[in-house]
Amino acid sequence: MLQRAEQVAHETEPWATDSHNLEGWKSNESVLERLLLETGGTQLTSVVHNSDEHGVGLLATVELVMTGATSDGWLGGQDVHYNICVRFKVSREATGPREIIPITIDCPPTVPATESAGDVGRN
């Protein structure tokens, strides 16, 4: 799952700083929204620390729950869905584009570690 989060971050970076777009760089809020959409996750928290998309330092963070699936046994085993919580940090050095770094975090107690296939989406 972290590999998927890293892929989403890597693919979102050029989109966030597309200088060929007439509107220029995307807002930090829209970057967070895109990360949420692209991961298919459920948002836990979202903070824009600096609304200036050309700012430096930590610009924004979003924490979300991503769900993966694995089989719990050999042939014909039931799929088990597991949750992983990820924090995406959007930052920028003094020069260059924004960088998006995903890191795993501990899920809050309200997020179950696993769910059977029939329980997914039932909250």
Q: Rounded to an integer, what distance in angstroms lies between the CA atom of residue 61 and that of residue 49?
A: 8
Q: Which of 16-20, 41-45, 74-78, 79-83 has the highest mean pLDDT?
A: 41-45
Residue 35 has pLDDT above 60, yes or no: yes
For the chain, the domains span: 2-118
Q: Tens of pLDDT along 94-118?
A: 888 899 999 999 999 999 887 654 4
Look at residues 89, 86, 47, 83 and name the one whose alpha carbon lies nearest to residue 67.
83
Question: What does the block give as tokens for 70?
Answer: 């694995």
Q: Rounded to an integer, what distance in angstroms lies between the CA atom of residue 69 and that of residue 114?
A: 9
